[in-house]
Amino acid sequence: MKSGWKGLCPRCGQGKMFSSWLKVAKKCDACDLDYRFAAPDDGPAFFSLCIVAFPLTFVVVWLQVVFEPAWWVHLFTSVPFMLAGCLLPLRPIKGWLVASQYVNRAQEAGTSKLWDQLHGRAPDAGGNFDD
């Protein structure tokens, strides 16, 4: 979990997981872990919205009802808090989700061959894979 939050490789904890702010690298630069298994999709945005935007919406509504500020007050307070609160956690959450997928060997249906290639496993004569 810690390596995911920091954006480090879930296998070695040394290499960088991201090639840019939210783009997952093709592979770890330290241990060559192939990140093709990673599919966090909309998970980071969902968690960011649920953890930050939803509760902050109640604060903004409360501020409006209790104090009735001018529109520009929301422009300089509510909007920046909403943007920062939703955008800043995206990278750590995405790193955590990718690391969780690696640790739990999460995979989409039909990707077992890719996982076997990533982990260097090959089928035996009966078509079963070694563990």
pLDDT per residue, tens digit, the chain (131 aa), is 888 899 999 999 999 999 999 999 999 999 999 998 888 889 999 999 999 999 999 999 999 999 999 999 999 999 999 999 999 999 999 999 999 999 988 766 566 777 677 777 765 544 555 54
The answer as to whether 100 is a domain residue is yes
CB atoms within 10 A of CB 110: 7
Provide the residue range defining the domain that includes 87.
Answer: 2-118
Its pTM stands at 0.76
The answer as to whether 82 is a domain residue is yes
Q: Which residue has the tokens 């840019």?
A: 20
The answer as to whether 129 is a domain residue is no
The answer as to whether 128 is a domain residue is no
Count: domains in the chain: 1
The answer as to whether 125 is a domain residue is no
Mind giving me the DSSP string for 87-112? HTTHHHHHHHHHHHHHHTT---TT-H
The answer as to whether 106 is a domain residue is yes
The answer as to whether 93 is a domain residue is yes
